[in-house]
């Protein structure tokens, strides 16, 4: 069922600015990444989204395609971003079926809340592998195609540039965030990775930038990182902008970075969080107050995505 444009894209962007462009997105069946891709498709792009769940990924592709009549959106499931071979096959399918690749979004991620004392080495490694190694694998598989597209549509000579990649990161590591050791380490690496892509591929026509979302309402991520808001409660009043973010906020930032307006924006981190990180209003800060939660040795509960064991939440 088509969504109203106001749910995923501002009205300031001109229809057709991404006509015939192709975007490849890991984690494309997720709440944030699907909105990013939907906005691009609405504005003329075709897309390939990949994810681990076959049914969910294929279903989301069909849903995104409703953003524009005549669009082509491919959903490829059973793709593990930790596997270079898996990603290379997906990229090859994207280019074969859609003809090219102009943009890439490295958006696959995993997260949960856990104090370091309860965070196993395997759980830590899992997040590093998905967020950081997965982002590297995405870039590695996509960059040859992005470089080719950049040569065909050089930024200086066209109003519809190609050869751009966005990494979806976070603000957790700016000040450090309790219960997020795994994600802090992974996202710091993602930011550094994007800078390296800028340095080494910028001379080849590539722009590499980061979008760092803050708390975004109605997403799977917030279900895992915060308890449900009760009626009449306003837990986001400490955010300078006075509200929780929306997926449209991230989609708008994506359109900007892929558009002609961002021709000279490279190697940057675009924080889209309403100023939340400046007040240390990160995941868990409302429900698991620092430092009491750590000192007491409590166990995270009341949020989504937790597997229960006899000893409590399994991480």
* Catalytically active residues, by annotation: 169, 187
Q: How far apart are CA 80 and CA 27, in angstroms?
A: 10
Check: CB of residue 210 under 8 Å from CB of residue 268: yes
Q: How far apart are CA 134 and CA 81, in angstroms?
A: 5
In a 13 Å sphere around the CA of 205, the CA atoms on its Cβ side amount to 21
Q: How far apart are CA 74 and CA 65, in angstroms?
A: 9
Packing angle of the helix pair 247-258, 31-42 (nearest 10 deg): 50
Structure tokens at 258: 């892929």
Which residues on neighbouring strands pair with residue 166, listed in sequence order?
Answer: 105, 209
DSSP 216: B
Which residues on neighbouring strands pair with residue 271, listed in sequence order?
Answer: 212
Q: How far apart are CA 247 and CA 36, in angstroms?
A: 8
Name which of 273, 219, 268 is nearest 243 in CA terms. 273
Cβ neighbors of 85 (< 8 A, separation 6 or more) are none
Q: How far apart are CA 242 and CA 204, in angstroms?
A: 41
Cβ neighbors of 74 (< 8 A, separation 6 or more) are 47, 48, 49, 61, 93, 94, 97, 98
Of the chain, the end-to-end C-alpha distance in Å amounts to 36
Q: How far apart are CA 299 and CA 311, in angstroms?
A: 10
């Amino acid at each position: 069922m088509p969504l109203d444009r106001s749910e995923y894209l501002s009205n300031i962007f001109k229809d057709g600015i991404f006509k015939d462009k192709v975007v490849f997105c890991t984690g494309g069946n997720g709440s944030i990444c699907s909105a990013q891709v939907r906005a691009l498709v609405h504005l003329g792009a075709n897309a390939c989204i990949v994810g681990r769940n076959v049914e969910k990924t294929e279903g989301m592709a069909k849903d995104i395609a409703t953003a524009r009549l005549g669009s082509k959106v491919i959903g490829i499931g059973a793709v593990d971003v930790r596997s270079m071979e898996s990603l290379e096959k997906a990229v090859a399918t994207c280019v074969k079926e859609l003809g090219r690749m102009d943009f890439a979004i490295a958006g696959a991620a995993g997260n949960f809340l856990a104090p370091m004392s309860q965070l196993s080495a395997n759980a830590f490694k899992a997040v590093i592998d998905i967020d950081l190694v997965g982002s590297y694998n995405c870039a590695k598989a996509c960059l040859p195609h992005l470089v080719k597209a950049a040569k065909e549509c050089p930024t200086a000579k066209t109003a519809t540039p190609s050869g751009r990649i966005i990494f979806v990161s976070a603000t957790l590591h700016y000040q450090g965030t309790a219960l997020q050791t795994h994600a802090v380490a992974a996202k710091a690496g993602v930011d550094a990775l994007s800078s390296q892509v800028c340095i080494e591929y910028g001379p080849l026509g590539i722009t590499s930038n980061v979008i760092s979302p803050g708390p975004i309402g109605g997403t799977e991520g917030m279900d895992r990182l915060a308890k449900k808001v009760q009626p009449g409660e306003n837990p986001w009043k400490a955010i300078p902008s006075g509200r929780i973010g929306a997926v449209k906020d991230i989609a708008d930032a994506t359109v900007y970075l892929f558009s002609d307006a961002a021709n000279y924006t490279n190697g940057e981190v675009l924080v889209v969080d309403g100023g939340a990180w400046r007040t240390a209003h990160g995941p868990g800060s409302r429900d698991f107050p620092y430092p009491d939660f750590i000192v007491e040795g409590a166990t995270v509960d009341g949020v989504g995505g937790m597997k229960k064991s006899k000893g409590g939440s399994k991480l």
